[in-house]
Amino acid sequence: MDYQNRAGSKRGGGGVAGSSETNADRRERLRKLALETIDLDKDPYFFKNHLGSFECKLCLTVHVNDGSYLAHTQGRKHQTNLMRRAARDAQEGRVDPVTGQMLAKPAAGSSAMLGANSIPIRRNIIKIGRPGYKITKIRDPTTKQNGLRFQVQYPQIGTEIVPRHRFMSAFEQRIEDASSNKQYQYLLVAAEPYETCAFKIEARDIDRRPGKFWTHYDSDTHEYFIQLLFKSEREGKGGVAGLR
């Protein structure tokens, strides 16, 4: 049999690789190359969601495993977005998320100066400890809804710092096993230079109507108040809260 005119093949070497085999081999080579050059713990765009998948926050893509993400970082799309991001940061005078250094200094009077649409530069703040707090169980006298009132104390908070809060599901946190804590959610409160504190509460719907859920920061006493009421079962079924 004549083998001399069969491109890409030689006697005993098998047939020519198809497109799927070629792509699989290319992705594997890119993954091995990325493992040698990229540390995922220091990648600012690497994110693992609550489903166990991996996301690229720069390109807004989802990957089934870390190998797929590493191969993506070596692709044309990710590299192009990196160059665009670096050029924009250099123009606006922001900090490079990889090196932590100022890329460029904005000219005076230009639109790159800090303004309403600017992103604040993250500073390295030394945490001084956890704030004091007080939790009170409450009940609405009209609707009979159960709720909680949080009072967090920040005696050494900065003059320009206002505490912030957010709710986190059991699947987002990494401290406890999410599969065994589906009935709970977490209320996070943060304010520099204190450590972020988290309160473990029931995973029930929160009534966010005016007067039911509110926050307040007292700049004189340096106390942050959060009050929330849980939706009643009757409200969840379409009934009127408080009626029997």
pLDDT at 29 (0 to 100): 80
Distance CA 34, CA 39 (A): 9
Taking a C-beta distance cutoff of 8 angstroms, is the pair 219, 200 a contact?
Answer: no
pLDDT at 135 (0 to 100): 92
Burial 70-101 (b: 16+ CB within 10 A, else e): bbbbbeeebeeeeeeeeeebbebbbeeeeeee
pLDDT at 216 (0 to 100): 92
Q: How many helices (H) and strands (E) does the chain have?
A: 4, 11
Q: Going residue by residue through the chain (244 aa), what tens digit of pLDDT does each one get?
A: 555 555 555 565 555 666 778 887 877 887 777 667 677 778 888 888 888 888 988 898 898 888 788 878 878 888 898 888 888 877 776 655 555 555 444 444 444 444 444 445 555 566 778 889 999 999 998 888 999 999 999 988 877 888 999 988 877 777 776 666 778 888 999 988 888 888 988 888 899 888 889 999 998 899 999 999 998 776 655 444 333 3
- The correct CATH number of 132-236 out of 2.170.220, 2.60.40, 1.10.287, 3.30.70 is 2.60.40
pLDDT at 226 (0 to 100): 93
pLDDT at 244 (0 to 100): 30
DSSP character at residue 41: G
First and final CA of the chain: distance in angstroms?
91
**For the chain, percent helix, then strand, then coil, each to nearest 5?**
20, 25, 55
Pairing of strands 223-230, 206-207: antiparallel
pLDDT at 15 (0 to 100): 56
pLDDT at 95 (0 to 100): 54
- pTM of the model as a whole: 0.46
Sketch the domain layout of the chain as residue ranges. Answer: 19-74, 132-236
pLDDT at 120 (0 to 100): 52
Distances, alpha carbon 74 to alpha carbons 33, 36, 71, 78, 96, in Å: 8, 12, 5, 7, 19
